[in-house]
Amino acid sequence: MKIVLLGTSSAVPTLTRGLSSTALVREGDVFLFDCGEGTQLQLMRSSVKRSRIHSIFIGHLHGDHLYGIAGLISTLHLDAREAPLNVFGPEGLRAFLNASFRTSDLQFTFKLTVREFPRGYRGRVLDEEEYYVDALPLDHSIFCLGWRFQEKDKPGIFNLETAEKLRIPRGPLYGKLQHGEEITLDDGRVITPDMVLGEARTGKSVAYCLDTQFSERTIQLADKCTALIHETTFGPDSISLARERKHSTMEDAARVAREAGVENLIATHFSSRYDGRQVTQIADEARNVFEKITVGRDLLEVEI
């Protein structure tokens, strides 16, 4: 999987940072988290193909995470897209989209499904054969959902040579073993899956937590994930401002990363008061709490 940061600024764009949006690319499919104004342009500057967007997840309805979605969907319509599109987000999202599209008299070329969640919602919002997405409320000034994209574990690779050595007849028995079932051969021998399968492949996971102040729920959502994308709006100079506006400092995010036992923290959503050098300094200090911090910047790609 690949994470592509499209916009890393909070509240307002700057000349070097766009508004919040992050793409997760998995086997060609694109999952877009938030869609601030300017996301379309950032997509064009990046390696991410807008035609491959599978679903869009909007965590909360603050403008810096939302105002790009109507424009992007309008462009998908002009592209004569045919594939259906899913949009997930808090209650109010559908009304926002409907108002935009009705105003412009936009009739879609494709099926748009908007799924809304009421305040406090937690649960599985998408469940596919190879992955699922869970949502959990964060702790922000308005209702805000965090998301966890989780690949399902895959059984180990079937070892053909071992199977032949064990004289297991080719055919449906192979399939049974691959699916974790134990089999009994005609000669009475019992073969268990671990005798022919390599080690199980653990699915990777990405937690996306924007916007929120430090919260136990975030730790829960991010539990042992491969990458935690967390807002880090402020530095140590603005702790009271972070508390007042229900945002996080870089150190808050580092604490979440440490307590959740994640592999990597990707910091994003920086206040426009900091330039790139200052953000790097803030991250250096937060490494006392959690070492593995990747400082986000627009168009940065992180392979996981």
Interface positions with Zn ion (CB under 5 A): 10, 62, 64, 211
Shortest spacing between CB 116 and Zn ion, in angstroms: 18
Angle between helices 276-286 and 250-260 (to 10 degrees): 40
CA angle 98, 84, 68 (to 5 degrees): 45
| From 64, 134, 252, 298, the catalytic residue | 64
Known catalytic membership, residue 64: yes
Q: In the complex, what is the shortest distance from the CB of residue 21 to Zn ion, in angstroms, rounded to a whole number?
A: 11
Minimal distance in Å, beta carbon 209 to Zn ion? 11
Q: Which is nearer to Zn ion, 76 or 279 (CB)?
A: 279
* CA dist list (Å): 39 to 142, 169, 192, 230: 22, 55, 50, 19
Q: Tokens at residue 286, please?
A: 């937060």
In the complex with Zn ion, the residue whose CB is nearer, 88 or 131, is 88
Question: Shortest gap between Cβ of 228 and Zn ion (angstroms)?
Answer: 17
Residue 135 DSSP one-character state: E
Helices (H) and strands (E) in the chain, counts: 10, 16
User: Based on CB atoms, which residue is closest to Zn ion, 10 or 264?
Assistant: 10
Nearer to Zn ion (CB atom), residue 42 or residue 226: 42
**How far apart are alpha carbons 154 and 269 in whole angstroms?**
34
Residues with active-site annotation:
64
